[in-house]
Amino acid sequence: MTPRELWDRYCRHLCAVDALDFRLDISRVRFDDGFLESMEPRMQAALAEMEALEAGGLANPDEQRMVGHYWLRAPERAPSPELRRAIEGTLASIESFAGDIHAARIRPESRPRFTQSLVVGIGGSALGPQFVADALGGPADPMQTSFFDNTDPGGFDRVLARLGDRLAETLTVVISKSGGTKETRNGMLEAREAYRAKGLDFARHAAAVTGKESELDRLAHREGFLARFPMWDWVGGRTSETSAVGLLPAALSGFRIREILEGARAMYTATRERSTAKKPAALLALMWHRAGEGRGAKDMVVLPYCDRLLLFSRYLQQLVMESLGKEKDRAGRIVHQGLAVYGNKGSTDQHAYVQQLRDGIDNFFVTFIEVLGDRTAPSIEVEPDATSGDFLSGFLAGTRRALYEGGRDSITLTVPDPGPRTIGALIALFERAVGLYGSLVDVNAYHQPGVEAGKKAAEGILALQRRLLAEMRARKGDWRTAEEIASAIGQADEVESAFQVLAHLAASPGRGVVLQGKRSDPRSARFAIER
Amino acid sequence: MTPRELWDRYCRHLCAVDALDFRLDISRVRFDDGFLESMEPRMQAALAEMEALEAGGLANPDEQRMVGHYWLRAPERAPSPELRRAIEGTLASIESFAGDIHAARIRPESRPRFTQSLVVGIGGSALGPQFVADALGGPADPMQTSFFDNTDPGGFDRVLARLGDRLAETLTVVISKSGGTKETRNGMLEAREAYRAKGLDFARHAAAVTGKESELDRLAHREGFLARFPMWDWVGGRTSETSAVGLLPAALSGFRIREILEGARAMYTATRERSTAKKPAALLALMWHRAGEGRGAKDMVVLPYCDRLLLFSRYLQQLVMESLGKEKDRAGRIVHQGLAVYGNKGSTDQHAYVQQLRDGIDNFFVTFIEVLGDRTAPSIEVEPDATSGDFLSGFLAGTRRALYEGGRDSITLTVPDPGPRTIGALIALFERAVGLYGSLVDVNAYHQPGVEAGKKAAEGILALQRRLLAEMRARKGDWRTAEEIASAIGQADEVESAFQVLAHLAASPGRGVVLQGKRSDPRSARFAIER
Q: Are A309 and A418 in contact (CB under 8 A)?
A: yes
Whether residues B122 and B244 fall in one domain: yes
Whether residues B192 and B292 fall in one domain: no
**pLDDT tens digits for A363-375?**
999 999 999 998 9
Contact A450 B6 (CB under 8 A): no
A to B CB pairs, distance under 8 Å: 537
* Residue B364: strand pairing partners: B299
Catalytic option among B455, B456, B476, B504? B455
Chain A residue nearest residue B128, CA to CA: A352
Contact A340 B363 (CB under 8 A): yes
Q: Would you say residue B227 has pLDDT above 80?
A: yes
Q: Are B304 and B411 in contact (CB under 8 A)?
A: no
Q: Where does the pLDDT of residue A457 fall: very low under 50, low under 70, confident under 90, or very high at 90 and above?
A: confident
> Which chain A residues touch B156 with a CB distance below 8 Å?
388
**pLDDT tens digits for A481-514?**
999 999 999 999 999 999 999 999 999 999 999 9
Q: Are A445 and A324 in contact (CB under 8 A)?
A: yes
Contact B307 A523 (CB under 8 A): no
Beta B22-25 vs B410-415: how paired, if at all? Answer: antiparallel
Give me the mean pLDDT over the A268-292 stretch. 90
Whether residues A78 and A211 fall in one domain: yes
Contact B352 A321 (CB under 8 A): yes
DSSP codes joined into one string, B111-153: SSS--EEEEE--GGGTHHHHHHHHHH--TTSSSEEEEE-S--H
Of B447, B467, B482, the residue that ends a domain is B447
- Nearest Cβ partner of A380 from B190, B386, B461? B190
Chain B closest-CA separation from residue A81 CA (Å): 33
DSSP codes joined into one string, A454-498: HHHHHHHHHHHHHHHHHHHHHTTT--EEHHHHHHHTT-GGGHHHH
DSSP B306: S
Of B222, B255, B288, the residue that ends a domain is B255
- Nearest Cβ partner of B6 from A126, A344, A496? A496
Least confident of B117-131, B246-260, B511-525: B511-525
Domain that holds residue A265: 3-66+260-447
Q: Would you say residue A271 has pLDDT above 90?
A: no
Chain B residue nearest residue A385, CA to CA: B466
Contact B510 A392 (CB under 8 A): no
Catalytic option among B351, B456, B476, B504? B351
Neighbours of B3 (CB within 10 A): 15
Whether residues A173 and A100 fall in one domain: yes
Chain A closest-CA separation from residue B494 CA (Å): 7
> Which chain B residues touch A462 with a CB distance below 8 Å?
383, 386, 390-391, 394
DSSP codes joined into one string, A266-288: HHHHHHHHS-GGG-HHHHHHHHH
Catalytic option among A198, A221, A351, A504? A351
Q: Would you say residue B308 has pLDDT above 80?
A: yes
Chain B residue nearest residue A14, CA to CA: B520
- Nearest Cβ partner of A158 from B307, B389, B462? B307
Q: Would you say residue A75 has pLDDT above 70?
A: yes
Structurally, chain B folds into a number of domains equal to 3
Whether residues A371 and A264 fall in one domain: yes
Whether residues A273 and A171 fall in one domain: no
- Nearest Cβ partner of B450 from A342, A358, A380? A358
Chain A closest-CA separation from residue B47 CA (Å): 24
Chain A closest-CA separation from residue B91 CA (Å): 26
Task: Report the distance separating Cα B54 and Cα B37, nearest Å.
Answer: 25
Chain A residue nearest residue B419, CA to CA: A154
Contact B392 A152 (CB under 8 A): yes
Contact A337 B153 (CB under 8 A): no
**pLDDT tens digits for B395-411?**
999 999 999 999 999 99
> Which chain A residues touch B346 with a CB distance below 8 Å?
150
CA distances from A190 to A144, B349, B373 (A): 20, 21, 17
Whether residues B35 and B73 fall in one domain: no
Whether residues A300 and A343 fall in one domain: yes
Torsion A163-A101-A149-A431 (CA) sign: negative
Chain A closest-CA separation from residue B378 CA (Å): 5
Give me the mean pLDDT over the B218-242 stretch. 97
Q: Are B285 and B442 in contact (CB under 8 A)?
A: no
Chain A residue nearest residue B306, CA to CA: A152
- Percent of chain B whose pLDDT exceeds 90: 91
Q: Among A62, A136, A166, A353, which would you mutate to test the B interface (most chain B Cβ atoms within 10 Å of its Cβ)? A: A353
ipTM of predicted assembly, 2 dp: 0.97
**What is the structure's pLDDT at A274?**
65
Contact B509 A376 (CB under 8 A): yes
**What is the structure's pLDDT at A273?**
66
Q: Are A344 and A319 in contact (CB under 8 A)?
A: no
Chain B closest-CA separation from residue A239 CA (Å): 12
Contact B401 A457 (CB under 8 A): yes
Of B255, B284, B313, the residue that ends a domain is B255
> Which chain B residues touch A337 with a CB distance below 8 Å?
360-361
- Residues 6 or more apart in contact with residue A461 via CB below 8 angstroms: A497, A501, B393, B394, B397, B398
Catalytic option among B183, B190, B322, B370? B322
**pLDDT tens digits for B341-386?**
999 999 999 999 999 999 999 999 999 999 999 898 999 999 999 9
**pLDDT tens digits for B425-471?**
999 999 999 999 999 999 999 999 988 888 888 899 999 999 999 99
- Closest CA relative to residue B365, chosen from B385, B347, B340, B387: B340
- Nearest Cβ partner of B153 from A353, A375, A406? A375
Contact B507 A416 (CB under 8 A): yes
> Which chain A residues touch B124 with a CB distance below 8 Å?
351
Strand intervals (E) in A97-143: 116-120
Whether residues B394 and B465 fall in one domain: no
Q: Among B241, B278, B299, B361, which would you mutate to test the A interface (most chain A Cβ atoms within 10 Å of its Cβ)? A: B361
Helix (H) or strand (E) holding A516: strand A513-516
The CATH number assigned to the domain holding A81 equals 3.40.50.10490
**What is the structure's pLDDT at A150?**
98
Task: Report the distance separating Cα B69 and Cα B243, nearest Å.
Answer: 8
Task: Report the distance separating Cα B108 and Cα B247, nearest Å.
Answer: 21
> Which chain A residues touch B197 with a CB distance below 8 Å?
none
- Nearest Cβ partner of A508 from B162, B318, B373? B373
**pLDDT tens digits for B50-86?**
999 999 988 888 888 899 999 999 999 999 999 999 9
Q: Where does the pLDDT of residue B272 fall: very low under 50, low under 70, confident under 90, or very high at 90 and above?
A: confident
The CATH number assigned to the domain holding A456 equals 1.10.10
- Percent of chain A whose pLDDT exceeds 90: 91
Give me the mean pLDDT over the A328-354 stretch. 97
CA distances from B29 to B42, B284, B366 (A): 19, 11, 10
Based on the residue annotation, tell me whether A494 is a catalytic residue of this protein.
Answer: no
> Which chain B residues touch A151 with a CB distance below 8 Å?
347, 388-389, 391-392, 395
- Closest CA relative to residue B131, chosen from B233, B21, B255, B300: B255
Q: Among B17, B364, B393, which would you mutate to test the A interface (most chain A Cβ atoms within 10 Å of its Cβ)? A: B393
DSSP B477: T
> Which chain B residues touch A339 with a CB distance below 8 Å?
356, 361
**pLDDT tens digits for B145-167?**
999 999 999 999 999 999 999 99
Q: Where does the pLDDT of residue B46 fall: very low under 50, low under 70, confident under 90, or very high at 90 and above?
A: very high
Based on the residue annotation, tell me whether A345 is a catalytic residue of this protein.
Answer: no
**What is the structure's pLDDT at B274?**
65
Chain A closest-CA separation from residue B527 CA (Å): 15
Catalytic option among A212, A221, A455, A504? A455
Chain A closest-CA separation from residue B80 CA (Å): 31
> Which chain B residues touch A288 with a CB distance below 8 Å?
none
Based on the residue annotation, tell me whether B455 is a catalytic residue of this protein.
Answer: yes
Q: Would you say residue B273 has pLDDT above 80?
A: no
Task: Report the distance separating Cα A18 and Cα A22, nearest Å.
Answer: 6
Q: Order of strands, edge to edge, in the sheet holding A227-231?
A: A144-148, A116-120, A170-176, A206-211, A227-231
Give the end-to-end CA distance of chain B in Å, rounded to a whole number.
79
Whether residues A103 and A49 fall in one domain: no
> Which chain B residues touch A387 with a CB distance below 8 Å?
153, 508
Q: Would you say residue A172 has pLDDT above 70?
A: yes
Whether residues B76 and B168 fall in one domain: yes
Task: Report the distance separating Cα B56 and Cα B82, nearest Å.
Answer: 13
Contact A308 B503 (CB under 8 A): no
Whether residues B428 and B303 fall in one domain: yes
- Nearest Cβ partner of A307 from B152, B466, B518? B152
Chain A closest-CA separation from residue B82 CA (Å): 31
Q: Where does the pLDDT of residue A276 fall: very low under 50, low under 70, confident under 90, or very high at 90 and above?
A: confident
Q: What does pLDDT average to over chain A?
A: 96
- Closest CA relative to residue B311, chosen from A187, A186, A314: A314
Task: Report the distance separating Cα A281 and Cα A438, nearest Å.
Answer: 12
Contact B138 A161 (CB under 8 A): yes
